[in-house]
Amino acid sequence: VLHYANKYKLLVLKINSKFDLRRLSSVTGATIMSNLIVPCAHEIGHIDRVYTDELGKRVVVIFEQKGLKGNIASIVVRGSMDGLLDEAERAVEDAINTYKCLTKENAILAGGGATEIQLSQKLTEEANNCSDLKQYAIRQFGSSFDLVVKALIQNTGMKAIDAVTELHQRHNQGQKFD
């Protein structure tokens, strides 16, 4: 079979992974066929360039689709230690997933203690409006949110007291999501 494929300049690849087969089908626009019949013209895919290259000590087959036709990309992460590679892979996956989330829904949830600071300030305002003993309980409950913010900040290695004070100042100035 390979003799005839070479004779007619046809590329034959053995792909064991269904995942890789689906990716290749998506890139080329080909239809995956489970039976051995002659494909129709619309079932045959197209790729601009196929070549082999060596990455590290491994020979890989690279498929290139020029222009906007290709909708798949591969990211090659290389490193000297397995732990470093695992961490780099997680970082790339996190970045890709963040991009996916931001393109699907363009809403951003405030993080880094912004929600807790806002709750703390609103509860403090509410406590100032109360005249009975409830104000002390409300104020204490509001200040408990500052402890959450303090813990988040300490996990980053920053000075918690300075950062919480700065966050309160920025919230008072209207910079709630910067």
The rounded distance, in Å, linking the Cα atoms of 12 and 21 is 13
Whole-model pTM: value is 0.50
Residue 103, pLDDT > 80, answer yes
The rounded mean pLDDT for the chain is 86
**What does CATH list as the number for 2-74?**
3.50.7.10
The rounded distance, in Å, linking the Cα atoms of 13 and 21 is 10
Quote the pLDDT of residue 175: 79
Helix, strand, coil share (%) of the chain residues, nearest 5: 55, 10, 40
pLDDT tens-digit series, residues 46-89? 888 899 999 888 898 888 888 766 678 888 888 889 999 999 99
Tokens at 118, concatenated: 């806002």
Domain segments of the chain: what residues?
Answer: 2-74, 78-107, 114-172
List, in order, residues 6 or more apart from 149 with CB less than 8 Å away.
113, 116, 117, 120, 164, 167
Quote the pLDDT of residue 92: 94
Residue 178 — pLDDT band, cuts 50, 70, 90? low
